[in-house]
Structures are given as structure tokens and as C-alpha cells.
Structure 1
Amino acid sequence: MAYIRDRLNSPPVTIGGAYSNSVLAVAAVAHRRGLSSVGFIRGDELAGKPLNPILQKARDIYGMELHFINRALYRDHDARRKLMQDKAHAINGCVISEGVSDFEGYLGVKSVFGKLHAEDYDLICVSCGTGTTLAGILAATASSGVRVIGFPAHILDCLIRDGVNNPAEYFKRVSFEERYTFGGFGKSSPELEKLMGDFYRETGIGLDFRYSGKLVYGFHDLVKRGTVTDPARVLVIHTGGMLYRPL
């Protein structure tokens, strides 16, 4: 969100699922800049029901205006883009894509991780949705040669986004672990839930079963398997997702 934070000068309009970290982040950034914000949320059946903690915080703490849309509209990318553009035009605002999975999002990640001393690590581990965070990390660490493992939240359909100028070189440094999806996006298991609970009790750091839990589970398993031989030289990046589910 760094790129958005530094350049956001008009009310943002964004879209996401009911447990979207990026919807909450957009609301928070807008609030801190004294701007209103609008979020279109997947699932019109949720209208009128109690809000989950993420949406409640977006609305009640950060003042986001929420609109629940049906799932067919949500899947129609052209229609939902027009919906967002029309709303942005009406409030003299701007559109921020789902998950900030665009060039601006990539630049934000690249900017943040450009400050990282990547030479201190042999390996970076990060969860993947669209692949925007992964792409920014690869670009930011290009000169270091550090290896990167992406842990997809579901069977891999993530993309290395616009802005990666030399994908052939980057792909020499990146690999993907698809063994830890637990059946797909948002899916979990008692084993994963136990890991999340144990991790919280040991560290005080919350995880979620969409992204960060699967990442930490997978990393721990790679250490057990001997694939990762020196955990002290590994950077595991927690990208958020801990607010909505008790452990």
C-alpha cells in the first residue's frame, strides 16, 4: 500500500471479498489522509447481516461506505469495473483494483522491499494470490540473487505482474510450493488450525487460513523435510490476515 499511500489524493473506490485485507487497508489509508472511501463487497446476501470484524472495522473505524454486490456481477470483470468507475466519477474519486493487483501495487511492494538488506538472507518465503507481492519482491531483490519461494493460497494461478522487465532472470530465482493449499482458497483443516493456534500462543502473532497460515505451515514443513537447512537465513514475510477469526 506504500505507493497508494504516497499518491492517494482523491477518495478511493475498491472491491473485494468479505474478508479482504486490501479493502481494509484501502479504508485505513484513505482515513489517515482525510478521505472518504467506498468498498464493493462480494455477496449481496451479506447485506443487512452483522459485519465480520474486517468489514466492521473498515466501516466503523475508517468510515468506508460499503456496498454488497451479487456474485455474478463480481465475477463479471467488465461490469464491475464500470460499476467502480461510475462510482469514482460520481464522487470525484479514483479506482483501486482488487488486492491492489496492478502496476501501482507492484511499485509499492518494490519500494518497500527496496529497503531490505536481501544479502542477509539465502531465501525469502511469501504467500501468493495474484503474485503482485512476489513480483515486487523479485524486482526489489534483483541484484542480491536471493531465492524466493511463493506459497499459493490455492492451486497456482498467480501471475508475475506488469513491471517485471526480465522474467526469465527472475524465474531462475523463484519456485512455488503448491502442497500447502489445503484444498483451495479459504479452505482449512484441523491440522492447519492447530498450527495457527500453536503459533499464536508461542509468538503472539496471529495467522489466517487463507494466506499467512498456509505460508507458515509450509515453511515449517520444509524445515522438517530438510529442504530448508538454515532457518536463520530465511525471511518469511507475513502479508497480513489475522483479524477475523479467533484462534
Structure 2
Amino acid sequence: MLIPNQKIDFPFFKESGIDLYIKREDLIHPHISGNKYRKLKYNLIEAKQQGQDTLLTFGGAFSNHIAATAYAGKEAGLKTIGVIRGEELKEGWQANPTLKLASEHGMRFHFVSRSEYRTKGTDSFLEKLKMTFGEFYILPEGGTNDLAIKGCEEILTVEDNRFDFICSAVGTGGTIAGIINSAQPHQRVLGFPALKGDFLMKEIRKVSESENWDLIQDYHFGGYAKITTEQVGFINNFKKKTGIPLDPIYTGKMVFGIFDLIKKGFFKPGTQILAIHTGGLQGIKGMNQVLKQKNLPLLDL
């Protein structure tokens, strides 16, 4: 699978002597794009090898992982169940674009309270699910496990060896762990977390022994699913100039951060940067619902 690296041209790049390319992982598949495709690839194979016919996973109201799992399961001939955080969503979930999309691709939902959701990793919680749904193959929230990391190790190719920095948005840490594991010794991997907090450092170190990476903590815009008018304007302008849509939760924050670091002189002249587009574009409709409720500018679809 040949994924193009698209060069990004803005006037201040030339002034800074920087080359920036974006790996268009969002083009892999219309519904299972970016890192979700990579994370699901080997898990689907494993589920079938185990003889399982049902995938069960976890997520919030606008989860890219929920939407991707639903479609991937349908394509693979597997049933899917989504354990959804927020019991209040049980009524009126059809108005949620992510859940509506997942349902259209065959996913059944099990809504739980936020307090109960926090116990999703316990034996008692999983036993209740098995009593309700029977046997299933578990995909963790966000899709990150050893097989997901194995899939994400395939994002970088031999042609990418020329880059000095590899940049990726960070959610649960699985995607960047795969990139860290496959990066070359001369390359530095920069992660741009969508969440506040230092806990991701520990999570990444659990699954990768390399030290060729840093987390840039300054561009989360207040935390997961938070967005500002400035960020909306940046994403819309970027799409207008380059033709590349960015999602507001992950890639929009990462690219904003890269631009800001270039302007601040973080990268030396002559630096070659590759940013990974991790998909997640289905989340734009959900974010626009939130923005509309707040009477804020909308993201261009």
C-alpha cells in the first residue's frame, strides 16, 4: 500500500529553511482511515484465528475507534458491539453522527454510566458483558494493544528514512509507539498529545524501549475534544491552502503545533519533517454540533 507524502508549501517555511510533508494516511480507506486501519489490521486477523465472530470495544460519543471498528467488522464479516460511555446517550443517540454511522454498519450499543465505564477493565464488568453478549474478542478503548502497535510499525517506509523528524498526534499512545519502534536511529519522533497530563510518558515507555522521542505538551488546546476559535480558523485555512482536511481532535492540533514550532525556530534550517495524518475525519460532524451549540465558527466539511 503506497501512501503519498504531500509537500506543504507556506511562505515562512522557505524563510525558515524547513521542508514539511504530510503522510496522507487519511486516504487509506473512506471509513477505516489512518491509524485506525493500522491498529485494526492484525487484531482482525487474530480474532478470526481465535474463531471469534464478534468484536467488542469501548469508546465515547464521538470516538473514531468506535466508527472504524463498526465498519471494519462489517467488512470482515464480524459482528460488533460498542460499550459507550454515558448512559444519557441511550435516548436520542441517533442524532449523534458517529454512533449513527456505527449503527448503520451493524454495531450494537451497550450504554453505561461514566462511573461504571471506569470499571471496564475489571473481571466483574467483563463477566457481565459475557453474560449479556456471549463470547467476544476484546479491542481496548482507542484500539491500542500489542497487535495495534505492530500495525502502526508499518506506517513508516524505506522512502521515509530521509526525514529528520517524524511527528504524530497522540491519543492512547499506540500509534506513536509503533512509529518510535520503526523510526531510524537518526530520526527524532515528536508526539503532540490531545490530552492534558504526563501519564502518556509512562504508557509509551511500557511498550517501547527507544529514547528517540519527545512529547510536545503545549498544543492540546485545553484537553481532549476541546477546541478554540483560533484552531477552527487554522484548520479551515489549512484546508483551503492545501486541500487537506484535518480533524480537530488530533491532526489539527499537531499541525498547528508544528507550524508554531517552525515560527519559533525550534527546527534548524534544512530540517526535513514528516507529519503523519492519522485520519479521524468523521469526527468533524460531531465537533460542528458542539460548535453550533456554542455559536462558534464551524469547521469546513
Do they fold alike, i.e. is TM over 0.5?
A: yes
Deviations 1:18-54 (A, max 9, x none): 1111111211211111111000111111112133222
1:140 aligns with 2:182: yes
Q: 2:272 aligns with which of 230, 233, 247?
A: 233
Question: 4+ runs of 1 displaced by more than 4 Å?
Answer: 229-232
Cα distance change on mapping 1:85 and 1:107 into 2, 3 Å: farther
Would you say 1:103 and 2:103 are equivalent positions?
Answer: no
The answer for the alignment partner of 1:129 in structure 2 is 171
Equivalent residue letter for 2:194: A
Task: Identify the range of structure 1 (37-46 vs 49-58) with the bigger mean alpha-carbon deviation.
Answer: 49-58
TM-score, with structure 1 as normaliser: 0.87
Alignment of 1:203-242 (within 5 A): 203-229=242-268, 233-242=272-281
Aligned residue number for residue 151 of structure 1: 192
Match of 2:238 among 177, 181, 199: 199
Once residues 182 and 257 of structure 2 are traced to their aligned partners in structure 1, the CA distance between those partners, rounded to angstroms, is: 24
CA distance in 1, matches of 2:190, 2:158: 17
Cα distance in 1 for partners of 2:247, 2:222 equals 15
Cα deviations by residue, 1:182-214 (Å, 9 ceiling, x for unpaired): 111111111111111112222333223221111
Q: Give structure 2 stretches of 5+ with no counterpart.
A: 1-39, 289-298
> Any stretches of 5+ residues in structure 1 without a counterpart?
none
Aligned-partner residue type, residue 134 of structure 1: I
- Give the alignment partner of residue 101 of structure 2, picking from 30, 48, 57: 57
Q: State the alpha-carbon separation in 1 of the partners of residues 231 and 58 from structure 2.
A: 28
What is the CA distance between 1:232 and its match in structure 2? 7.3
Structure 2 residue corresponding to 1:160, chosen from 204, 220, 230? 204
Query: How many residues align structurally?
Result: 238
Q: Is the 8 A contact 1:152 1:178 kept in 2?
A: yes
Residue in 2 that maps onto 1:46:
89
Identity %: 32
Decide whether aligned partners of structure 1 residues 35 and 27 sit closer, same or farther in structure 2, where only a CA change above 3 A counts. same
TM-score where L is the length of structure 2: 0.72
Alpha-carbon separation, structure 1, partners of 2:193 and 2:224: 9
Structure with greater contact order relative to length (CA < 8 Å, sep ≥ 6) = 2
27, 49, 58: which is aligned to 2:70?
27
Change beyond 3 A, Cα 1:145–1:213? same
Deviation, structure 1 residue 84: 4.2
Tell me, yes or no, if the aligned pair for 1:14 and 1:84 is still in contact at 8 Å.
Answer: no
Deviates more, 1:198-207 or 1:85-94: 85-94
Q: 1:199 to 1:35 in 2, by over 3 A?
A: same
Q: Secondary structure at the match of 2:142?
A: helix
SS at match of 2:283: coil
In the alignment, is residue 120 of structure 1 matched against residue 162 of structure 2? Answer: yes
**Partner residue of 2:221 out of 182, 185, 193:** 182
Report Cα offsets for 1:127-171 as digits up to 9, x if no partner.
112211111111112x4431110101122321216442xx2xx22
